[in-house]
Amino acid sequence: MTVALDLIAGSIAGAAQVIVGQPLDTIKTRAQIAPKGMFKGNWDIFIQTVRKEGIFALYKGMLSPLLGIAGVNSLLFASYAVSKRIVSPFPEKSLKEIALAGGMAGAANAILASPVEMFKVRMQGQYGAAGDQRLRAVFAEVAKDGLRRGVMRGYWVTVAREIPAYAAFYAGFEYQKRRWLATHPNQSIPVYALVGSGSFGGICYWLACYPLDVIKSRVQLAKTPPSGINYIANEFRTILSTQGFKGLFIGLAPSLLRTIPAAGATFAMFELSHEYLSKHTKL
């Protein structure tokens, strides 16, 4: 029953995350993958995107995560709940145990997150040209390369990203939430504190994994699938040689700006919907 609650509440939270955060996610992804010299910075990406493609271009690629986020977030929150029980049978967990459970949930989450991210990046990597493809055409093109080299391209770098990211995500959220509860004993945590704790967790998420996210986006957008088991290291060296160390953090600013409302909305919606379903359903 608890898993069912996590699945439903996770779906609701995931939809809120996508709707709130998609515009800045588009700017972040374009900063990571755009050809050198195409944009002058994050603000220029925003201006050119709106001017040339219209305001709704900021939501380009949203259909893939919006359709897939129910499964992704359901898997994430359910895996996290199960992982916490595996890590320790006791209800009170240390922050180290929370981080371990979060990392385990992240590894499981990569199974669905990898293909969802693949199609989102492909859609965001189109700049309003006449030959831009719809999601159905992108799917058909990617599927030609098969499951491993096409649909699941970038799976291992996604796993490498998700483990530290969600360890930091859940530990950051729990740390901030516990700080609030410690200063307000015997009180239920309000929505604004949940939003703030979720936002802090989201910032921890990106700081823990951002270079790997840059590598993932570039691998998933590349015309040819990666070969060999060292493709993560190869792409890392390519970024360093062409853009320098700063290339590993390009687009970080819109990611952090996006995560403040998006992660806050995710945790707040999860906690609130979970509480509501517990009270008003038989689950």
For residue 231, give every residue at least 6 positions away whose Cβ sits within 8 Å of its Cβ, in sequence order, or none: 157, 219
What are the tens digits of pLDDT across the range 241-253? 999 999 999 999 9
Largest CA distance in the chain: 60
Q: Are 203 and 259 in contact (CB under 8 A)?
A: yes
pTM to 2 decimal places: 0.85
d(CA 99, CA 53): 41
- Tell me the residue type at 46: F
Structure tokens at 87: 């890590």
Statement: residue 31 has pLDDT above 80: yes
What are the tens digits of pLDDT across the range 203-219? 999 999 999 999 999 99
Other beta carbons less than 10 A from residue 259's beta carbon: 28
Given the candidates 2.30.110.10, 3.40.50.970, 1.50.40.10, 3.40.50.720, the CATH classification of the domain at 2-280 is 1.50.40.10
